[in-house]
Homo-oligomer: A and B are copies of this chain.
């Protein structure tokens, strides 16, 4: 009886752990093809930070539509220009195939929502080249080193303290985010003055990482601006991500660096490392800051 009870409990746990294809993230980034190149979207309210729909979540939505539209499955390099602020609710993604090749294809995609008169308003436009990560040779000569971040049990997430950022942040409930205490000074009123943010990253329901969830990961940490002593919103103007490898199962390490805060703008360079110590994704975004 004990054995059967234990097995039943294990089976229940296994049945409830989310998987790639069956998870909050997959459901909330679903793109339903209505016609060739036209995808119906329902932007979830669950991936907002301070009431704004997270830019990485939006990039993943567009990435999913393009992965369906193009003959190659994985984003290799994807650039997004953020035009107007998205809102939870209905949206449509329109894709265009720009060029198809043997190993790479290029596509363009736009996400639209609707104004009060029902007219389409473009929120984001993306240009991307896709390939097949599973066909890449495994010759790896990466000279970069993984970030120095303490073990996960020595890092802290939103659930470990009072909510440091005012306003709704539903995304916090959907992520497993454990920040390096060396990049948490801002949450204690003592920003370090260094443009750095580092964290262990995963999805709260246990779903493993994949190329699309890495598009979320590069934009899901608190802004480096907080550690630079800046307050307020740091909207992304443009973000380019390179996906270099299918990530191994297990948590990711994300390390973000800003070195050029100037003239009302800053860049955030993100590196994503997987549990096999591969540099699986890199991104750079240009964002606006409010100075002074």
Contacts and interface: CB of A to CB of B under 8 A. Distances in A.
A275 interface: no
Number of this chain's copies in the assembly equals: 2
Interface stretch (A52-60, A65-73, A77-85, A153-161): A77-85
Contact of A136 (B106, B242, B263): B263
Contact of A122 (B98, B133, B138, B140): B98
A76 B228 contact: no
Given A77-B286, A129-B81, A237-B77, A141 B98 contact: no
A195 B142 CA distance: 10
Contacts of A99: 83-84, 122
User: How extensive is the interface on chain A, given as a class?
Assistant: 35 or more
Interface in A236-273: 237-238, 240, 242, 244-245, 258-265, 267
17 contacts: A76-B286, A79-B240, A81-B106, A81-B128, A83-B99, A127-B127, A133-B263, A139-B291, A139-B292, A140-B262, A141-B228, A142-B259, A143-B260, A244-B260, A244-B265, A259-B279, A282-B284
Given A142-B260, A143-B258, 16 more contacts: A76-B237, A76-B265, A76-B286, A77-B81, A81-B129, A84-B99, A98-B122, A136-B264, A137-B264, A139-B262, A139-B291, A142-B261, A142-B262, A143-B259, A143-B261, A240-B284
Cβ-closest 4 pairs across A and B? A136-B263, A79-B79, A144-B259, A77-B238
